[in-house]
Amino acid sequence: MEILDILLSENFWAAALRIATPLIFGVLGALICEKSGVLNLGIEGIFAAGAMAGWMAVWLGADLWGGLFFAALTGAFFGLIHAILTVPLGLSQHVSGLGITMFATSVSYFTYRTALPQVSTPPRIEPFQPLDIPILSDIPFLGTVLFKQTAMTWLALFLVVLVWWVYNRTPLGQALRAVGDNPDAVDAQGLSVYGLRMGAIVAGSACMALGGAFLTMSAFDAFFFGMVNGRGWICIALVIFASWRPGKALLGALLFGAFDAFQVRLQTEVGAFVPSQVFLMAPYILSIIALVIVARRAEYPRALLTPWFKGQR
Amino acid sequence: MINDTVLSLNKLSKRFGTVVANESVTIDLKRGEILSLLGENGAGKTTLMNMLFGHYMPDSGSIQVADAEGNLAPLSLGHPQAALNAGIGMVHQHFTLAENLSAIDNILLGSENLFAWRRSMDTARDKVKDIMQRTGLNAPLDTIVGKLSVGERQRVEILKALYRDARILVLDEPTAVLTPQEADTLFANIDVMAKDGLSVIFISHKLREVLAFSHRIAVLRHGKKVGEIATKDADEKIISRLMVGADTPTSPRETLSVGAPVLELIDLSVTGISARSSLEQINLTVYASEIVGLAGISGNGQSTLAQVISGLTSPTSGRLEIDNQPVQKYTPASLLKAGVGRIPEDRHHDGIIGAMSVAENLAIESLDSSDIQKNGFLRHQKLKLNAQHLSQKYDIRGPGIEAETRLLSGGNIQKLILARVFEASPRLILANQPTRGLDVGAASEVGKRLLQARQRGAAVLLISEDLDELLALADRIIIMHNGELHVAPGRDRAQIGLIMAGEVS
């Protein structure tokens, strides 16, 4: 049975985790924003900006971690614009977010073209290499799946734990959850609604940008136009699938990664009979189905999309 | 030297645009005192307290608060954090609780160092437990607030303030959401706390509880303090005259013999998404020329019942008859046609379309009539004449009949709805919380119109949380609890209250 062979192979699961990594960053970023009550549709553009900024920094001579830092900073910058527009000014989160996506995408392409006007094949950088952890990577199955990923995958997994810890174990997390449920509660206790929400958007956007940076600095080694390819939008759906919980966010990203890895492999098996577009479509359709099943029970942050103004109740 | 005064509001004024919310209000509060702040809706009570708590910045005036040693010091205005630090705690009318956090997390919110890596809650928990024991304010601490009852939420709100060592507690209409029994318990708790040295300001418009529980009464009208009186020297007459500026007119009611059944609910059940929106085997008949009052604490199925009668929800089983005709299709249009006039609970949201003109809103339920339209086109001239006539008849005031309806005040929006409903001469009038949020004048207008409709021979189902209103208007009172109907044994408040709380069935 070929399908079973696919599902049992080490390479398949390693690929699933690899494909899931940018989504983990993205879905965590979206989760951080939305849990505070603000939708950030700038995610697609922030992915592009992160991919561009990280790669460009390394190409200009920064080391890989410096590139990541620069990518996060770029994401934070676009997040700050979104935060100012949607939090103290209270503008439509949809309009502002889509504007950020267009703006950030265009700025990235523009910067790329300005820096490299005549190049047809983009210059390559030396990306993150798979970490070969002695002993552990020799474990049969798990060794290949887990311990041959790059440092960025480990960073993503660490962030899942960190975000979970912050939201469930720290006073800051309590405040961030409260501000997405009832900003008046936060205000009445003397905390700053604006501060918490803007901080969350900036941090979430930085996290999204890391997802973009993974594309140019780990999955590939160069920047291409259109390389984000809807991954940001997938994260917006996944965060609903995850019901705004970090653990489920990881699960959702892995599920999508598995769908995607599976369709590539299935394509080579039965590609002769079925048009390739069907396979490309499959992960998205399966995501929609999963969403339909799960989203009805999702616990939306009550204040999501509702602007809050000081002195108005 | 210990000063007996813990709080002094000094000539506070606040305007919103051209509207004066407060004008030069001066109030002092003593240690251990319970002060009632009384006034109609829109008299400026809540604005005043929001200035005290730093939500609003006063235009002029100052506030002085006693510190722990009892020395008065000026309060920095416009900062909730400053008010909290000065020992002022406020319990808002709409609770400021995060429903996705547990009660204890809500209490601690903002009191911990935000950037700590972990939380150590043992000392905090001990302190909260100690407060609960001292005051009798009990609430399950580890339950998510979304799952608590309204009374429990209110206790969490008060605990929140006390945990922050509040020496002055402001309660904004604390009993609006409670049963009479819960309210009594609350006041007993407050009494204990006041004896312990806590100073309390409680905002209300219910004369009865103000007279029963406070030490001193300050009355606001149109943003100004119009009187201050020790409770022992006050009675209902004196205070209501201060509040309204004149004696309130009471509508005369005549004894009528009831007519044929108009509305019949037969074994009607609705399975809603939650228990709060379900109905259980409802049987009810409302006759012509009678007003049936439906009492109950909000969230016991009244809204669902109103939705069924308005055609917004279909019953899961059972049926509804109007004039002995079973309703076939539960749509707003078919029930409207059957003769149901609806005064909705949320008048801004369900009663009008804010962006459309007053004239259009007046005609919106009679678009089929040839007076309004011809061959699918609106007859603007008729629309206008109709609106002019009704504005005059029902005293709808505002920027004019062509103006957007959302610009009207709450009272005038309600008059617009009354005009629309009563002009259609409905067989049944469903009035859901028709006087909520209205001032005394507008509320008595609503009462008058309902009595007129009864006189005319209409059946009225009046849903209200205000027992006094029901006792004044209704011929019969029934009580809803947990989606079930109970017949009130009489007109005894205490009895009705017990049934509202579900303690007697």
Residue B502 has, within 13 A of its CA and on its CB side, a CA count of: 7
Are residues A184 and B101, on separate chains, in Cβ contact within 8 Å? no
Chain A nearest CA to B160, separation (Å): 9
Task: Give the CA diameter of chain B.
Answer: 83
Per the structure block, which two tokens stand in for B431? 């009035």
User: Which residues of A fall within a CB distance of 8 Å from B110?
Assistant: 175, 186, 189-191
Contacts A185 to B, Cβ<8 Å: 96-98, 106, 109
Which residue numbers of B have CB closer than 8 Å to A's CBs? 50, 53, 55-57, 80-81, 84-85, 90, 92, 94, 96-101, 105-106, 108-119, 160
Q: How many Å lie between the alpha carbon of A93 and the closest alpha carbon of chain B?
A: 22
Query: Residue type at A29?
Result: G
Residues in B touching A313 (Cβ below 8 Å): 50, 55, 92, 94
Per-residue pLDDT band at A162 (split at 50, 70, 90): very high
Q: Which stretch of DSSP H or E encloses residue A102?
A: helix A93-115
Closest-CA residue in chain B for A173?
B114
Of A169, A170, A177, the CB nearest to B98: A177
Q: In this complex, which of B80, B85, B116 lies closest to A187 when CB atoms are compared? A: B80
What's the pLDDT score for residue A96? 97
In this predicted structure, what is the pLDDT of residue B249?
A: 54
**Exposed/middle/buried for A313, CB within 10 Å: 0-12, 13-18, 19+?**
middle
The answer to whether B116 contacts A171, with C-beta atoms less than 8 Å apart, is yes
- Partners of A191 on chain B (C-beta within 8 Å) are 109-110, 114
Q: What's the order of all strands across the beta sheet hosting B216-221? A: B88-91, B168-172, B199-204, B34-38, B216-221, B224-230
* Structural domains for chain B: 5-112+120-244 (3.40.50.300), 261-358+413-500 (3.40.50.300)
Q: Is the CB of A177 inside 8 Å of chain B's CB atoms?
A: yes
Per-residue pLDDT band for A47 (boundaries 50, 70, 90) equals very high
Higher pLDDT: B84 or A271? It is B84
Q: Can you give the pLDDT at residue B1?
A: 36
* Residue A298 forms contact with B (CB below 8 Å): no
Distant-in-sequence, close-in-space partners of B50: CB < 8 Å, separation ≥ 6: A311, A313, B56
- Distance from C-alpha of A227 to C-alpha of A220, rounded to nearest angstrom: 10
Q: How many CB atoms lie within 10 A of CB B178?
A: 20
Structure tokens at A90: 């209270």
Quick count: other Cβ atoms within 10 Å of Cβ A242? 23
Distances in Å between the alpha carbon of A303 and those of A38, A139, A307, B227, B474?
Answer: 8, 47, 8, 41, 39
Closest to A182 (Cβ–Cβ): which among B96, B116, B117?
B96
pLDDT of residue B204: 82
Q: What is the pTM of this model?
A: 0.79
Q: Please tell me the predicted confidence (pLDDT) of residue B179.
A: 76
How confident is the prediction for chain A on average, in pLDDT? 91
Residues 6+ apart with CB under 8 A from B309: B263, B320, B335, B340, B342, B428, B430, B461
Residue B55: its chain A contacts at CB < 8 A?
187, 311, 313
**Closest partner CB to B99 (pick from A174, A175, A302):** A302
pLDDT the model gives residue B160: 93
CB contact under 8 A, A311 and B105: no
Phi and psi for A209 in degrees, rounded to 5? -60, -30
Does the pLDDT value for residue A101 go beyond 70?
yes
Contact (Cβ atoms closer than 8 angstroms) between residue A163 and residue A173: no
Interface test with A, best of B114, B121, B171 (most A CBs within 10 A): B114
Residues on chain A touching B57 (C-beta within 8 angstroms): 311
State whether A172 and B114 contact (CB < 8 Å). Answer: yes
User: Please, is B333 exposed, middle or buried when counting C-beta atoms within 10 Å of its C-beta (0-12, 13-18, 19+)?
Assistant: exposed
Among partner residues A169, A170, A175, which is closest to B109 by beta-carbon distance?
A175
Which one of B109, B121, B142, B163 would you mutate to disrupt binding with A, by most A Cβ within 10 Å of its Cβ?
A: B109
Contact B92 A174 (CB under 8 A): no
Chain B: residue nearest A309 by CA? B55
Spatial distance between the Cα atoms of B209 and B187, rounded to a whole number of angstroms: 9
In angstroms, the CA B192 to CA B93 distance is 22
Q: Please indicate whether, in this complex, the C-beta atoms of A188 and B80 are within 8 angstroms of each other.
A: yes
Average pLDDT of the residues in A151-169: 95
Say if the Cβ atoms of B116 and A170 lie within 8 Å: yes
What residues of A are in contact with residue B49 (Cβ under 8 Å)?
none
Nearest CA in chain A to B92: A188
Confirm if B461 and B438 have CB atoms less than 8 A apart.
no
pLDDT for residue A312: 62
In B288-436 the beta strands, taken as DSSP E runs, fall at 290-295, 317-322, 325-326, 340-343, 373-374, 377-378, 428-432
What's residue B81's pLDDT? 86
Provide mean pLDDT across the span A45-66: 96
Q: Is A311 on the interface with B (CB under 8 A)?
A: yes
Answer whether B114 sits within 8 Å of A187, measured CB to CB.
no
Residue A98: pLDDT above 70?
yes
Do residue A171 and residue B160 have CB atoms under 8 angstroms apart?
A: no
pLDDT of residue A259: 87
What is the Cα–Cα distance from A42 to A103, expressed in whole angstroms?
9
Q: Does A189 contact B119 at a Cβ distance shorter than 8 Å?
A: no
Cβ <8 Å between B110 and A311 = no
Helix (H, G, I), strand (E, B) or coil at B242: helix
To the nearest whole angstrom, how far is the Cα of B431 from the nearest Cα of chain A?
A: 27
Cα separation, A132 vs A117, whole angstroms: 38
Q: Using CA atoms, how far apart are residues B356 and B345, in angstroms rounded to an integer?
A: 20
DSSP-based three-state secondary structure for A55: helix
Contact A174 B105 (CB under 8 A): yes
B145 phi and psi angles, rounded to 5 deg? -60, -35
Cross-chain residue pair A185–B109, CB shorter than 8 Å: yes
- Cβ within 8 Å, pair A313-B99: no
Distance from the A297 Cα atom to the nearest Cα atom in chain B, whole angstroms: 12
**Interface contact B111-A174, CB threshold 8 A:** no
Residues of A in contact with B75 (CB under 8 A): none
pLDDT less than 50: residues of chain B = 1-2
Characterize the bridge pairing of strands B34-38 and B199-204.
parallel
More confident position, A311 or B59: B59
**Separation of alpha carbons A18 and A145, rounded Å:** 9
Helices (H) and strands (E) counted in chain A, each on its own, are: 13, 0
Q: For residue A175, list chain B residues with Cβ-Cβ distance below 8 A.
A: 109-110, 114
